[in-house]
Amino acid sequence: MLRLDGVHQVFHRGDVNEVHALRGLNLEVPAGQFVTVIGSNGAGKSTLFNVVAGVFAPSEGRIVLNGEDVTRTPEHRRARLIGRVFQNPLLGTAASMSIAQNLALALLRGRRRRLTPGVTPGRERQFRDLLAPLGLGLENRLDAKVALLSGGQRQALTLLMATMTQPRLLLLDEHTAALDPGTAQKILELTRALVAQQQLTTLMITHNMQQALTTGDRTLMMDGGQIVLDLSAQERASMSVQDLVDQFTQVRHAELADDELLLA
């Protein structure tokens, strides 16, 4: 379970460049719920993720993850609880290391390190079993450098690495946006399968409004550092993208003017 109580994030406070990126955000995500997050550029989506992940502490408010107050917990310690996949397939993996070595790093994340081999025959068998269902042939390329993989293969590997230790929370930051449509669809299907199999509490930012309406259990729309729409699966079941745009207009009394969001 994730809970945010009155979270504010102010950058450059008191400066001419002051930005109030999050404004008293309150949010509760029950364990196992899959939430999609949409909003225009500058709405606060990435700031929300960075605050939850511990990239920086909020200016005000509290963040609770599975009953533990993690508001001031540093990012490296929070990483044992949170899996994260970014938009850029080049992030989240070590290009110069092999597939097996990357998976070993993910497997040992948050554990006390010792001077023992990270990749063992037993772990190689485990990695093959994890990779085989992807249908990408990576289980036969454990020694291949990650730099040699395609963007889709690399993103699939990153997603697997982020979920293999069953994190308390999974953050997906537009993780299909940089991929071609066919590959993006495959990664989205893999995402749905992994989240369902492990019953992961998940937040997924997307610019694709249709994807937001048909993925997961709930859709949030952010604007101006606030959550302006919170739609349950039942509420959004019969909604079209135009219905969603109309709802935004009613709530904010303003036109939604983000070409990337409207055209996705």
Question: Mind listing the pLDDT tens digit of every residue in the chain (264 residues)?
Answer: 999 999 999 999 988 889 999 999 999 999 999 999 998 888 999 999 999 999 999 999 999 999 999 999 999 889 889 999 999 988 889 999 999 999 998 888 755 555 555 788 889 999 999 999 888 999 999 999 999 999 999 999 999 999 998 999 999 999 999 999 999 999 999 999 999 999 999 999 998 989 999 999 999 999 999 999 999 999 999 999 899 888 877 877 666 655 555 545
Query: What is the per-residue pLDDT for 114?
Result: 58
Residue at token pair 């085989």 = 132
Query: What is the per-residue pLDDT for 263?
Result: 47
Q: Kindly give the residue spans of alpha helices, DSSP state H, lying in the chain.
A: 45-53, 75-78, 99-107, 121-131, 151-163, 181-198, 209-214, 233-236, 241-252, 259-263
- Residue of 168, 217, 144, 202 lying closest to 64 (CA atoms): 168
- Identify the three-state secondary structure at position 184: helix
CA 212 vs CA 176, 208, 221: distances in Å:
12, 6, 10
- Residue of 42, 6, 35 lying closest to 229 (CA atoms): 35
Residue pair 177/191 in contact (Cβ under 8 Å)? The answer is: no
What is the rounded distance in angstroms from the CA atom of residue 225 to the CA atom of residue 110? 31
pTM attached to this predicted model:
0.91
Query: What is the per-residue pLDDT for 109?
Result: 73
- Residue of 131, 133, 139, 144 lying closest to 101 (CA atoms): 144
Q: What is the dihedral of CA 96, 100, 103, 108, to 10 degrees?
A: -100
